[in-house]
Every structure is written in C-alpha cells, then in structure tokens.
Structure 1
Amino acid sequence: MKKEELLLQRLDEIGKSLEREGGALALLGLGSVGVERERLDEHSDLDFFIIVEPGQKNRFIDRLDWLEEVRPLAYSFKNTSVGCKILFEDGIYGEYAVFEEWELENSSYAEGRVVWKAPSYANTGIAKSSRNMPSIRNDSLDHPLNEALTNLYVGLCRYARGEKLSATRFVQGYAVDSILSVLHLLEEEADGFPDPFGNDRRLERRYPRFAAIAGSMIQGYDRVPESALCILSYLEEVYPVNRRLSEEIRRLADRIGR
C-alpha cells in the first residue's frame, strides 16, 4: 500500500478506535490528510484534532491505549498541554491535539475534514473556524524590508565579533523571513497551498523565481558575509534601499572577508 493510502487508512482506523472507546465526539483531519489531500505524498504525516465530551481531555492526552489499539507506538511526546507527537512502529508519524467543543468556538484554526463523528454529534461546522486566521503576510514593503536591512547590519557586526551563530540567524534567518512575509507583493504566487503558519512552506512551488536564488542567501554558518551581500543585492533590486546603510553593510562584509 502506498504511504498516502496508509495515512488515510490510519486516520480512519483512529476514528474507529475513538468510536469503540467512547468519550470522543469527532475526529478532524488537518492539512494534507484534511481538506488539502491533493498535496498528500509519501513525506506527509498525520495531523488531527479530537473533539471530546466534557471532562475527557486528559484521558486522550495522558493515556494512549486508544492509539495502541490501532498500531503499537514506538514513541510519544506530550509537546503541549493539549496534545502529543507520536510515531507508530511502522514509521507513521503524527501530531494531534484534543479539545472540548467550547474551546474552539472563539479560536482561529486551519479548516479540517470530519473523518469520524459520533452518531449523536451534529456540529460538523466545527471543522471550519468561525474566526479568520491571523495573517503572517505583511501588506507593505517598508517595515519588513527595512527590518531585513538592519538584520544584515546587526548580523555582520555580531559575525565580526565572533558571534557566528547569532549572526547566521540574523542574516540567513530573520532577514530572509522578513522578505518571505512580503514575497506576495514582489512576485506572482503560483498555486501551491500557502500555509497560514509559515511563509516558507512549499516556497519552491509557490515562488519559483525567488526559490532559484534563495540558496545564495542561505550559504551557511561560515558564509554569513557572502549571504548578506546576496540578500542586500536582492533588496536593492526590489526596494529603494537607504544608500548610507547599504554602504555600511558592504563595508562590514568586505572587512570581514579580508
């Protein structure tokens, strides 16, 4: 059986286990096992919510026998107060969270798919949040790209001081993240399931032009100055960069290189 089919089958089996166990009201598949099944592939995993009856949350978080009934677990980790990360013995990885219905009423979350529900449970609309997800995109270039510029400067100063890890994060992490937050304003976005939690997800499919040069901006721990210069060049192409700050960034990068 293909991995994609196995994932969907496993989720169905979890639903049957919940039905046998009692105390659960619904199982929602999320992401690629939810409403975005077109992107399901061999590298996907299980991501799901469980809606439970009042007072039943801890039972499904602290005791995992309802999962062991489906397939033995090789690993489990309670990563939040409401859920776990798990690995089945056969290599299927998953993450889940458990909620009582009232907890989702005023929450924003990505739309899910009802995989299973108790016969008496009628609120299938809970699969879609009544609140919009907060946007992780910016609607103006000014703040994010100036933030990126200052990240380059601060990062190079730290690199020159010997703080190479911090410098790597400022230049190849924070600065690039700022660019990603406005990439939809700089390049036409191709269809590729944007993720409401991370602008980096499926970047290569959504923004192929930027993806083709992204490697030059993220050259690694020992090439922070080189990465900074590539990021600066890109910023200068898409935004009226402050000339004096640009000169200082180049001066720093050149000095470190020498």
Structure 2
Amino acid sequence: MTAALTTAVRGHPALVGLALLGSSSNDAASRRDEWSDHDFFAIAGSGAAAIARQDLAWLPDQERLVLTAREGDLGFVAVYADGHVLEFAVAEPTELAGALAEEATVTVDDADGSVARVIAESQSRAARVPVTDVLDDAQLVLVKLLIGTGRLRRGETINGGQFIRQWAVKHLVQALRARAVDRGLAKAAGIDSTRRFEADFPEVAADIEAAIAQPAERAAKSLFDLTRRVLEPGWEDFPTAAADAIARRLGW
C-alpha cells in the first residue's frame, strides 16, 4: 500500500507530497502489526486542496474500496475489502499550521521541500505538548465519576456511561502518566496518553479494563476505588476531601 500511495500521489496533478505517519513510517516500523492503519498527510499545492478533496479516485485499488468518509474539514478515512484502513488528511501546508506529528517519513516532496517543512513543524509542536496537570486530571476523574453516576441514577445510561468509561478513564490515564513523569518514572506520553498505555502500565491497565467491563455504576465505583488506590498514597496534594465528599454523596 505504501508504494501504491506514493505512486498515486506522484501522479495526481493537485498533490505535491506524501508523509506517512505513525506506524506507517520507517521510524515506527517495529510497532507495525496486522492492525496497523496507513496514516498520512497528502499535501496539495497552493489553491489545489479542494480539488484533491473533492474526488478520492486517486486512492489506490479503487475496485477494493468499500467505504470512504469525511472526518472534519481536512480528514478522511477509507476502508478496503480486506479491512485495511487509511486515515489521512488532504491539505495545503498552510492548512496544517496546527497539526501534530510524531514519527513520520516523507516519500514525496516538491522542489521547495514543503512537505518536509510541514512535518518538521508538526513534530516540533508535538514535542512541545506539555504534560497535563496531574492535580487537575485527578480532580476531573472524580468529577466525571460523580456526574456520570448521577446521570445513570436519573436514567441517562448512555450519557452517564460515556462520562464513566470514556472521560473519567481519559483523565485517570493522563493523571497516572503525569504522576509517573513527575516522579521520574516515565517519559511524557506524546500526543495521545491512552496509546500503548497497556505496555507502559500493564497492571493498572488490566485493572481499568476489568473495571469498565462491569455494569456502569459498578464500573464507576471500581474506577473511584482504583483512583484512590493508585494516586492517593504518598501524594499529599491528592484531593482527598473532594473524594470523601463524592463518596458520601453517592453512598460509596
């Protein structure tokens, strides 16, 4: 697929470059497995992005495509008959002024090196993404569990479950990573703190997985107990009073 994409971009009159991202890149080839997608930026020439976005007939192996969909103004996803996924943005360099990238390989570039500059700038921004505030994240875990459980108890099971299984877990993962960074036990996670969390924190990840596999309110209680167990001991700034108040409010 990499070779076919490279050929397709080179042959498109509106496209001037291709940058493979994440596990599609050479730098992250060791992470690649059967579930890896092709993530990339397809870079258009000045004023030409709308043309490239309008028609995706330039994607390789058109006869095997079973799905293409838009994701936002610049993003797309495509799925092939064998289940292989492409996730990509089609954009001019100026449209990627806020983009973030980590591992990347430029396979097509113009004479001005526009794609290489886009990638260098995106990697520089990603490297400057600050570690999240551990206290803020810990407090937000508790807030999301409180709100989510309240929603469950009034019958809003879908919305309440989202607060518990998605947002509370996101902040718990961020808090755990930030706390580990603060203690010198880990490096910053990069763009998405949930990626490869299982490899970095296998025991806690297994506990989170077991917690959210339960019915929603039991999941909330398990996540609440887990948050206190893994973050509170030895951390004098942990929001203990808030945790106690939430436990009282919810009858925990």
Which of the five TM-score ranges fits, normalised by the shorter chain? 0.7 to 0.9
Quickly say closer, same or farther: Cα 1:109–1:186, change in 2 above 3 A.
closer
Equivalent of 1:143 in 116, 136, 140: 136
Is contact 1:12–1:116 with CA below 8 Å preserved after alignment?
no
Other-structure match for 2:34: 42
* 1:210-229 deviation line (CA, Å, top 9, x unaligned): 11311243134x341x2232
Structure 2 matches for 1:149-168, cutoff 5 A? Answer: 149-168=142-161
The CA deviation at 1:32 is 0.6
The CA deviation at 1:135 is 3.2
The CA deviation at 1:204 is 0.5
Gaps of 5+ in 2: 233-237
Equivalent of 1:211 in 201, 205, 208: 205
Letter in 1 for 2:204: F
Other-structure match for 2:22: 31
Structure 2 matches for 1:229-244, cutoff 5 A? Answer: 229-237=221-229, 238-239=231-232, 240-243=238-241
Instruction: Tell me whether 1:183 sits opposite 2:176 in the alignment.
Output: yes
CA RMSD in angstroms, aligned pairs only = 2.7
Gaps of 5+ in 1: 1-9
Which entry has the higher C-alpha Rg, 1 or 2? 1
The two structures have a TM-score, normalised by structure 1, of 0.78
Structure 2 matches for 1:215-226, cutoff 5 A? Answer: 215-220=209-214, 222-224=215-217, 226=218
Q: Percent identity?
A: 23
The alignment partner of 2:59 has SS state of: helix
Other-structure match for 2:105: 113
Is contact 1:156–1:253 with CA below 8 Å preserved after alignment?
no
Is contact 1:228–1:253 with CA below 8 Å preserved after alignment?
no
Other-structure match for 2:87: 95
Other-structure match for 1:3: none
Quickly say closer, same or farther: Cα 1:166–1:137, change in 2 above 3 A.
farther
The alignment partner of 1:29 has SS state of: strand
Other-structure match for 1:228: 220
Letter in 1 for 2:158: L
Quickly say closer, same or farther: Cα 1:53–1:200, change in 2 above 3 A.
same
Other-structure match for 2:235: none
Is contact 1:48–1:96 with CA below 8 Å preserved after alignment?
yes
